[in-house]
Structure 1
Amino acid sequence: MISLYSPLLREMDFTPVVYYYYDRADMLSTTPAETTQTHSLHEIMYVVEGQVSIIADGTPFTLGPGQYIWLDAMTKHSLFMPERPPLSMLNIEYQFEPISRCCSTTRELAAVSPCFRRMLGCGKPYHLLGDGSGAVLHLLKLINQVAASGWADEEKFCSALCMQLLFLMAQNLQPPVVQTDSLLPGPVERALSLMESRYAQPLTNAMIAAEAGVSLSVLGQLFKQHTHGTVNSRLQAIRIQRARELLLGSGASVQEVAYRVGIINRQYFVQLFTQAVGVSPTEYRKQMSRESGDRA
């Protein structure tokens, strides 16, 4: 299991290898009404027809036709089926492996593409995107067709197509398409900037609201309207993502990681991390170490 944000992807030659896939015209007849998962594979879910509700890393979304969600490895997510059809979806699940020469590698793309390099440093456990051109739908259909073809080199073809898809996603993230057509209100932008830069400090909602220049109640309403979440949930999501990066890229103890992301109480940090990621910080680190050992 390697996160999209692992430094290894910028420093070494990795490519995505597809392990699971589906193209289902009638999701309601093949999928439970509600599923919750946390797994070591990266995942892309694309809605072709209908609507589906998803909770990713604690944040709820509704995906409609032409929209898709990308999930980083070990991102807890829940899928809720609608009561009535139609619902048609495409899906692929993959992981990064140190295989080269079937296509451009993560290191090569990061070296020449600013948008791909920015995506590798973004740190978000999920991305919600639109597919206005239909290019993502085309690539996902090709991956499903090739993966089911039985060709001798199907894995290499799927890896090349998946890398094209990730590069397209990186382009679509500049600027992020998860926002509405209008810019975020100034107070929300100021609050987000503050949380991104000072998450390691003992911030409170009142302090964030004061820095944003509005009352706490007004900031809460703006966050709910424009981010579909709360001030506190966004701050904790930032802290947990930074903690994941520290657990992956440093030898710091769990207590030290908690302190470095602004959470003094170790037990509270472990509780938050487990709720968000699906496993404890210690188990998360063990899983990553086992994965790295398998690739050594």
Structure 2
Amino acid sequence: MKTSSLYESALTRGEYLPEVVAYYFKQWDNYSMPFHAHNQVEIMYVIEGHCCVEIEGESLFIKKGDFIIIDAEVPHRLLVENGSPCRMLNIEFRFQERKGFFPSIKDFAEEDKAFARLLKMNAPYILLKDPNEVYFVLKNLVLEMDERGKENLLMVHLLLSQLLIRIGRLAVEVKANEPQQQSNIYVKNVIAYLHENYDCEIQMKDIAADVNLHPGYLHRIFKNHTGLTVMEYLTSVRMEKAKMLLAQTEIPLIEISDYIGINSRQYFSSLFKKYTQQTPVEYRKAAVRRKEFASWERV
């Protein structure tokens, strides 16, 4: 007897072992996979680049070092943009009744509380960031499977069990930090991204992709935490940088907008006046007067 879902109750009642049924390394580019489902649990690990996985109406942006576990029979598809290749390692597995003396899924659940909790999450997918340990196990698992010798079966079972236990511990740790603490981390990462990239042309999809969130969800949690939308916060960062450049440098006015990632001088002037109640010209003149007055006072 075989079972497919990671959350099948039979796994903690009977004696089952995980069994890999497919695995592959592959690089995708300009690819749009149709929605599909299969009767195996799938792990998709991004080795290089980034991609989007759509599941149950959500678009999940996944980048290097991230991986997703998709339960059996859950419709999903992979999307990779043209010119942005994504290299991945995928494995698919299900569960078969135990033969021999190797510890079963039930045995592991009885010994490891985090793994037992993983088997009860009943989530269509779990998206996690690798703390530099999951890929090592995955890669070794695939190398052992490539050998296909009987002497490799024990190592395959050991590595696959180790993989599931590590995933269980990661998933439980992430679950314990949600939702508030995880939201704080996302907002902190977005703010750091904006301060590092304000001088580039940025779209909401770029910011969302950097933190692996759907743009709509990111918009909600960011505004709840800061009182501003992501783009309003970006504008405030740019305007503060513009004020500094106008007051402390001699960069020509017509070039200031380029330094802060706004490709329209007219739009920059309009934003700046809305933000400071002064045009860029007026702000620089006022800054020059303040410097002159400060110099006069020191004399």
Q: TM-score range by the shorter chain?
A: 0.5 to 0.7
Residue deviations 1:194-215 (CA, integer Å, cap 9, x gap): xxxxxxxxxxxxxxxxxxxxxx
Greater relative contact order (Cα < 8 A, sep 6+): 1
Distance 1:58 1:102, change over 3 A: farther
The 8 Å contact of residues 23 and 141 in structure 1, kept in 2 or not, is answered as no
Q: Mapping of 1:1-296 within 5 angstroms?
A: 1-24=3-26, 26-28=27-29, 32-101=31-100, 103-132=102-131, 134-176=132-174, 182-184=181-183, 225-226=220-221
Partner SS for 1:93: strand
How far is the alpha carbon of 1:166 from its aligned partner?
0.6
Distance 1:79 1:49 in 2: 15
Distance 1:130 1:222, change over 3 A: closer
Q: Please give the TM-score of this superposition, normalised by the length of structure 2.
A: 0.57
Distance 1:19 1:169 in 2: 19
Aligned length: 188
How far is the alpha carbon of 1:147 from its aligned partner?
1.4
Distance 1:180 1:79 in 2: 26
State the partner residue of 1:242. Answer: none
Distance 1:125 1:79 in 2: 16
How far is the alpha carbon of 1:160 from its aligned partner?
2.3
Percent identity over the alignment is 24
- Greater Rg by CA: 2
The 8 Å contact of residues 18 and 155 in structure 1, kept in 2 or not, is answered as no
How far is the alpha carbon of 1:111 from its aligned partner?
1.1
Structure 2, gaps ≥5 residues long: 185-215, 223-299
Distance 1:56 1:159, change over 3 A: farther
Partner SS for 1:111: helix
RMSD: 2.6
Residue deviations 1:84-114 (CA, integer Å, cap 9, x gap): 1432110100101112546431110111211
Distance 1:58 1:66 in 2: 24
Distance 1:147 1:226 in 2: 43
Distance 2:157 2:28 in 1: 26
